[in-house]
Amino acid sequence: MPAMELQTTILDLDALAGAARRHAAPEDLELVFDFQSPLGPGFIGLEEQAPVDGSDDRWMGSFLYWGHNEDGPAGAPYAMELAAVKDGGATELLGCVGGEAYYAWEMDDEPDEERCKGRFFQWPALRRAVLGGCSLRAVITVLPPADAVATLDAALRIENNLGDTIAAIGPMLDNDSSSDVAVTAGGRTFRAHRLVLVAASPVFRSMLDGAMREAREAAVELVGADAGVVELLLRHVYGCAIEVPASLALQLYALADQYQLTGGLQQRLRLWLTALRLAPEALCELAPAACTLCSSVFYGGPGARRAVAAAGVCALAGRRFGGGDGGCRPPRRIRSCGGLDGGAAAAGQAEARLAAAAGCRALG
């Protein structure tokens, strides 16, 4: 099966920013934005949803639909994330959510809870960002329905468009004649270049530019990391295109997050994992890794990292979740919304969800 390539659409949400400036709370707020996806022209809806933990603060939910039957395929899985963009270009993730596309004529017939809107972002956090001078940007990906049901063999191809000069350093990875630092993981050693690692990661910069042992010994050990995952990460850093199998996607995401990689690797993995639906057997295999990452990232970091973990990791556990608090512990609290193949037997879905729940309980 060829690796899929993720195509994204970027939307500037000026109308949402304007509403945030005007309203302390989104009372009865509903906004619609049109966009052009590779599958056809569509619409993104945002509307007020449930209170945040019983307070007066509100969640905002989202849904995607096509205006006409010929505009796009029903049931196409999508993922969307919302970011606050600062003047210098730095971004703060406010939420990430996934679901399935509808047709406009279906919207009136579906109860709200069946639209899979999810909890997308919290209004107070968005308003603070806007009042602090940020603009708002959404990134959307829509997968063809045929690509929606994934096994562990499914893979995502990620390009690193760094330009011809930077891309030319790709063959220099593992080149003994020019390397000046060793990266070890899982019993393997990769010959790398201090300058490349420092440019790609502030964590590597602190390790290799200061007085730490790694700088003195010109050696970095990635304890507990899988050698294959480290190779993918290094090849990406060196400007190479990589193909990430679903079986390694969570580990690569966690490693890229841990080392705060610059560039779009985390975003592309996050969107793919959020839109992807897993076959029951893949769900059973990945549930323990999902819960491990859920424990270490979702509950251990600030709100943006919780949103990352909730959107990407809980989707891999066969459920949809939209960002902020409410997450992965215990599994029954996660909003279920079509994470499994719609054609799978009910017994198979139940078995997979039980396996996911057992994995989460075992790993805490």
Of 63-72, 107-116, 179-188, 337-346, highest mean pLDDT? 179-188
- Average pLDDT value for residue range 326-348: 31
| Distance in angstroms (rounded) separating the CA atoms of residues 364 and 357 | 10
Q: Which residue has the higher pLDDT, 363 or 147?
A: 147
List b or e across 27-54, with b for residues whose CB sees 16 or more CB atoms inside 10 angstroms.
Answer: eebebebebebebbebbbbbbbbeebee
pLDDT at position 21 is 95
Q: What average pLDDT does the segment 220-248 reach?
A: 92
pLDDT above 80: residue 308: no
Question: Cα–Cα distance between 283 and 264 in angstroms, integer?
Answer: 26
Percent of the chain scoring above 90 in pLDDT: 32
In DSSP terms, which residues pair with 122 in a beta bridge?
A: 59
Q: What is the pLDDT of residues 272-302, one digit of tens each?
A: 888 887 777 776 677 666 666 644 333 332 2
Report the SS3 class of residue 231.
helix
pLDDT for position 330: 29
> Domain extents for the chain?
4-158+263-363, 164-240
Could you read off the pLDDT of 126-172 as tens digits, one per residue? Answer: 999 999 999 999 999 999 886 556 788 889 999 876 654 455 565 66
CA distances from 17 to 94, 123, 133, 183, 332 (A): 13, 11, 10, 44, 34
Q: How far apart are the first and last CA of the chain?
A: 35
Q: Which residue has the tokens 């500037």?
A: 12
Which secondary structure element, helix H or strand E, spans residue 192, and what is its range?
A: strand 188-192
What's the whole-number mean pLDDT along residues 315-337? 35
pLDDT band for 332, please (50, 70, 90 cuts): very low
H/E segment holding residue 310? helix 303-316
| Residues pairing with 83 in the sheet | 93, 137
Which has more pLDDT, 302 or 248?
A: 248
346: its two tokens: 């009910």
Q: Which residues contact 260 (CB under 8 A, 6 or more apart)?
A: 201, 202, 203
Give 226's pLDDT tier (boundaries 50, 70, 90): very high
Q: Which CATH superfamily is domain 164-240 in?
A: Potassium Channel Kv1.1; Chain A (3.30.710.10)
* Residue 161 to residues 43, 114, 169, 342, Cα–Cα distance (Å): 29, 39, 13, 36
Residue 189 has pLDDT above 90, yes or no: yes
- What is the residue whose two structure tokens read 């709370």? 25
Cα separation, 28 vs 48, whole angstroms:
6
Does 355 score more than 50 pLDDT?
no
Can you give the pTM of this predicted structure?
A: 0.76
Question: In whole angstroms, what is the distance from residue 326 CA to residue 335 CA?
Answer: 9
More confident residue, 99 or 292: 99
Name the more confident of 43 and 282: 43
Q: What is the average pLDDT across 101-130?
A: 75
Cα distances (Å, whole numbers) of residue 242 to 70, 157, 228, 248 = 34, 6, 12, 12
Mind listing the pLDDT tens digit for each residue in 13-33? Answer: 999 999 999 988 888 889 999
The answer to whether residue 37 scores a pLDDT higher than 50 is: yes
Q: Which residues, including other chains, have CB under 8 Å from residue 146's CB and lie 6 or more apart?
A: none
In contact, 296 and 266? CB cutoff 8 Å: no
Residue 150 vs residue 304, higher pLDDT: 150
